[in-house]
C-alpha cells in the first residue's frame, strides 16, 4: 500500500508525539463539533459514477451535513461541483493537495469514493488531516490494509465508517429484526447472488486496482446479507467456514487476473448455511433467508431502490427513504455530532475482508474448507 506523504502532514505531525498528535486532532474535532451548531461539511474524494449518481444527490437531502468540498483530479469538474453545490473554490483539492484539508474547518467528514486500491491511502490521508472518514466498500484490498486504516483513524482520533448503505434500508433492517425474533428466526438457510455483465475494460477488472473481480465489487453485498441474516457482527467471537469455487472463465482474455465469477458457501456456528454467487458475466440480484418458522425474500435485493420483498406473511410494505445514501451519511453525521459509534464501523469492513480473503483462498485451493474467526 502506498501511504500518502505530504508537506502538510509532516508540518502538522512534525515535532508532535503520536499521543500529542492524537490529542490535538481529537480536541480539534470535538471543538468543531460542539462550538458550531451547523451542518457538518462533507468532502467527496473521487467524483466518479457513484459520487455523481448517488452521493452528490444524497447530500442535497441530508439534514445534518452538506457537501462542502471535493477532492478530484480534474479542476474543471471541481469548479462545476462548487458552483452546483455552492461551496467555495478553496474547498476544491486534488489528490496531492488533499492533506491541506487539515486547515479547513468547513470540512468535517471525508468520504472516500475512489477505486478500491486507493481507499487506504485516501482514508489515511483524510484521517491525518483530522477528518472523520466514510470509506466506500470494499474497505480495502486486504485485511492488512484495513488494519492500517483502523490504526490511522484511532491515532488521529477520528471515526471511520464504511458505506454499507443497506444497514440503513428498512427492508434489510426488517430481515435483521426477523433473524433475532424467536417467532421467526434464527434463519437456517440463505441463498442469493449479485451479478452483472461487464463488457468494457475498466479498473473493476484489474486486480491491481480492484483487488479482485465481482466478489470485491458486488459479491461483498451477499457476504454482508448472509452475516445480517445469521446475526453475525464483528466482535471476533463468531466462526464461519468458507468453501468457494471459481467459475470457469468464458472470456479469459478479458478477465486476465480477476475471477469472472464465484460460487461460495458460508457455514455459521449455529448450523445456518448460505449458498451465494457473484459474476461479471451473468445477471442476478436476489437474496433469501429461511428458517423453520418463516422466511424473507428480496428480488431485487441490493439495488439503490425499488427492492421487492416478500415474507412468509406476504409482501413487505414498509416506507423506504428517497435515498438510502442520505440516511446512511446523515446517520454518520449524527454519530460525529453526538460522539457515538457508527453501526457500520471500519471493523465491519475489516470483517468482510477476512471473509473475502478466505473465499479467494478456498477458490484457489479448489474448494478447500477454510474456517475464519470474525
The yes or no reply on residue 50 touching ligand NAD (CB under 6 A) is yes
Q: Which stretch binds ligand NAD (CB under 6 A): 26-34, 49-57, 79-87, 359-367?
A: 49-57
Element (H, E) at 335: helix 324-338
Alpha carbon 70 to its chain centroid, in Å, reads: 19
Q: How far is the CB of 49 from ligand NAD (least distance, A)?
A: 3
Element (H, E) at 373: strand 370-373
Give the nearer residue to ligand NAD in terms of CB position, either 128 or 164. Answer: 164
The yes or no reply on residue 301 touching ligand NAD (CB under 6 A) is no
The yes or no reply on residue 168 touching ligand NAD (CB under 6 A) is no
Q: How far is the CB of 8 from ligand NAD (least distance, A)?
A: 19
Q: What is the CA radius of gyration of the chain?
A: 21
Cβ burial 166-192 (10 Å sphere, 16+ → b, else e)? bbbbbbbebbbebbeeeebbbbbebbb
Give the nearer residue to ligand NAD in terms of CB position, either 143 or 272. Answer: 143
| The three cell numbers locating residue 93 | 483539492
Q: Which of positions 305-364 make contact with ligand NAD (CB under 6 A)?
A: none
3-state secondary structure of 41: strand
Give the nearer residue to ligand NAD in terms of CB position, either 175 or 178. Answer: 175
Whether residue 274 contacts residue 266, with contact meaning beta carbons closer than 8 Å, is answered with yes
Work out which of 11, 60, 73, 340 binds ligand NAD, going by CB under 6 A: 73
CA distance 374 to 361: 16
Work out which of 132, 159, 165, 350 binds ligand NAD, going by CB under 6 A: 165
Give the nearer residue to ligand NAD in terms of CB position, either 216 or 274. Answer: 216
The yes or no reply on residue 49 touching ligand NAD (CB under 6 A) is yes
Q: In what order do the strands lie in the sheet with 92-93?
A: 92-93, 65-71, 40-45, 109-112, 132-135, 160-162
- List phi, psi (to 5°) of 228: -60, -45
C-alpha pair distances (Å), 63 with each of 41, 106, 327, 333: 11, 16, 9, 9
Q: How far is the CB of 334 from ligand NAD (least distance, A)?
A: 19
Give the nearer residue to ligand NAD in terms of CB position, either 165 or 351. Answer: 165
The yes or no reply on residue 4 touching ligand NAD (CB under 6 A) is no
The yes or no reply on residue 85 touching ligand NAD (CB under 6 A) is no
Q: Which of positions 173-212 make contact with ligand NAD (CB under 6 A)?
A: 203
Q: How far is the CB of 5 from ligand NAD (least distance, A)?
A: 17
The yes or no reply on residue 47 touching ligand NAD (CB under 6 A) is yes
Q: Which of positions 125-144 make contact with ligand NAD (CB under 6 A)?
A: 136-137
Q: How far is the CB of 203 from ligand NAD (least distance, A)?
A: 5
Q: List strand residue ranges (DSSP E) for 163-320, in order.
A: 189-195, 239-246, 261-268, 273-279, 284-291, 294-298, 309-311, 314-315
Give the nearer residue to ligand NAD in terms of CB position, either 73 or 197. Answer: 73
Q: Which of positions 256-295 make contact with ligand NAD (CB under 6 A)?
A: none
The yes or no reply on residue 236 touching ligand NAD (CB under 6 A) is no
Q: How far is the CB of 14 from ligand NAD (least distance, A)?
A: 27
Cβ burial 305-325 (10 Å sphere, 16+ → b, else e)? eebebebeeeebeeeebebbb
Total residues in contact with ligand NAD, by rule CB under 6 A: 18
Q: How far is the CB of 69 from ligand NAD (least distance, A)?
A: 15
Element (H, E) at 67: strand 65-71
Whether residue 187 contacts residue 176, with contact meaning beta carbons closer than 8 Å, is answered with no
Residues that bind ligand NAD (CB under 6 A): 46-51, 73, 113-116, 118, 136-137, 163, 165, 203, 217
Amino acid at each position: 500500500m502506498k501511504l500518502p506523504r505530504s508537506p502538510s502532514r509532516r508540518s502538522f505531525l512534525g515535532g508532535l508525539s503520536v499521543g500529542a498528535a492524537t490529542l490535538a486532532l481529537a480536541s480539534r474535532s470535538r471543538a468543531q463539533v460542539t462550538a458550531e451548531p451547523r451542518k457538518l461539511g462533507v468532502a467527496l474524494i473521487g467524483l466518479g459514477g457513484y459520487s455523481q449518481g448517488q452521493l452528490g444527490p444524497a447530500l442535497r437531502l441530508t439534514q445534518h451535513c452538506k457537501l462542502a468540498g471535493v477532492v478530484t483530479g480534474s479542476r474543471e469538474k471541481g469548479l462545476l461541483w462548487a458552483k452546483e453545490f455552492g461551496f467555495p473554490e478553496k474547498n476544491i483539492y486534488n489528490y496531492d493537495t488533499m492533506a491541506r484539508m487539515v486547515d479547513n474547518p468547513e470540512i468535517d467528514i471525508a468520504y472516500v469514493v475512489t477505486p478500491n486500491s486507493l481507499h487506504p491511502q485516501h482514508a489515511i490521508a483524510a484521517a491525518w488531516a483530522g477528518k472523520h472518514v466514510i470509506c466506500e466498500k470494499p474497505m480495502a484490498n486486504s485485511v492488512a490494509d484495513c488494519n492500517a486504516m483502523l490504526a490511522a483513524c484511532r491515532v488521529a482520533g477520528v471515526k471511520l465508517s464504511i458505506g454499507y448503505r443497506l444497514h440503513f434500508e428498512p427492508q434489510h433492517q426488517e430481515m435483521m429484526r426477523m433473524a433475532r425474533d424467536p417467532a421467526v428466526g434464527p434463519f437456517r438457510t440463505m441463498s442469493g447472488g449479485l451479478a452483472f455483465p461487464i463488457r468494457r475494460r475498466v479498473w473493476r477488472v484489474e486486480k491491481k486496482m480492484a483487488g479482485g473481480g465481482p466478489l470485491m465489487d458486488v459479491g461483498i453485498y451477499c457476504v454482508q446479507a448472509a452475516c445480517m441474516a445469521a446475526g453475525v457482527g464483528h466482535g471476533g467471537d463468531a466462526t464461519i467456514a468458507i468453501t468457494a469455487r471459481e467459475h470457469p472463465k468464458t472470456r479469459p482474455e478479458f478477465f486476465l487476473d480477476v475471477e469472472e465469477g464465484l460460487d461460495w458457501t458460508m457455514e455459521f456456528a449455529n448450523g445456518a448455511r448460505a449458498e451465494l454467487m457473484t459474476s461479471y458475466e451473468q445477471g442476478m440480484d436476489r437474496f433469501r433467508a429461511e428458517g423453520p418458522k418463516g422466511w424473507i425474500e428480496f428480488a431485487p435485493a441490493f439495488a439503490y431502490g425499488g427492492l421487492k420483498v416478500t415474507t412468509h406473511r406476504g409482501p413487505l410494505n414498509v416506507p423506504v427513504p428517497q435515498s438510502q445514501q442520505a440516511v446512511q451519511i446523515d446517520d454518520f453525521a449524527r454519530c460525529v455530532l453526538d460522539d457515538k459509534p457508527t453501526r457500520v464501523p471500519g471493523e465491519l469492513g475489516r470483517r468482510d475482508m477476512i471473509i473475502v480473503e478466505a473465499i479467494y483462498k478456498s477458490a484457489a485451493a479448489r474448494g478447500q474448507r477454510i474456517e475464519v474467526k470474525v
